[in-house]
Structure 1
Amino acid sequence: MATLFVITLIATAIGSISGLVSGGYDGLFLGASTGLVAGVAAWAVALMVAQWRRERRLNRYFSQDGPVAQHVRQNQRS
């Protein structure tokens, strides 16, 4: 989570520098806001992918062939 926050800050800084170089002070604000939005978008995508991977791993664990289901079946037989 902290790494993704750093990515957002880096994107904002890069956007600020490129905006300042290309458009002066007006470009500074435009570049900073664009970089911030890009960083937040990257952060959101990374969090969605992490959540998807976590859910997929848990679904496999709790499926009919997973270890939890096998344990429940063994308890029902006894």
Structure 2
Amino acid sequence: MIYKVYYQEDSESAPRRESTKCLYAEAESIPDLKKKITDKFNYGIEYVTELNDEYLNYEKEHNPDFSIIKDL
């Protein structure tokens, strides 16, 4: 499954909407994805959502920086 992850680059800082970034990643489940991200990066995860085909196609068409991380 493909997920969109909203995060802060520093897990120690208080979240600020202006600093929120997102990434797209492939994983078996949300808990699996969160574990892989927190093991590899010092990101503060705010929200994770699964992307359906329609949303995924929209992101591909309208986001020039769109890429999916497959190997976390």
- Shorter-chain-normalised TM-score: which range? under 0.3
Normalising to structure 2: TM-score of the pair? 0.20
Larger CA Rg, structure 1 vs 2: 1
Larger helix fraction of residues: 1
Indicate the structure whose relative CO is greater, using CA pairs within 8 Å and at least 6 residues apart: 2
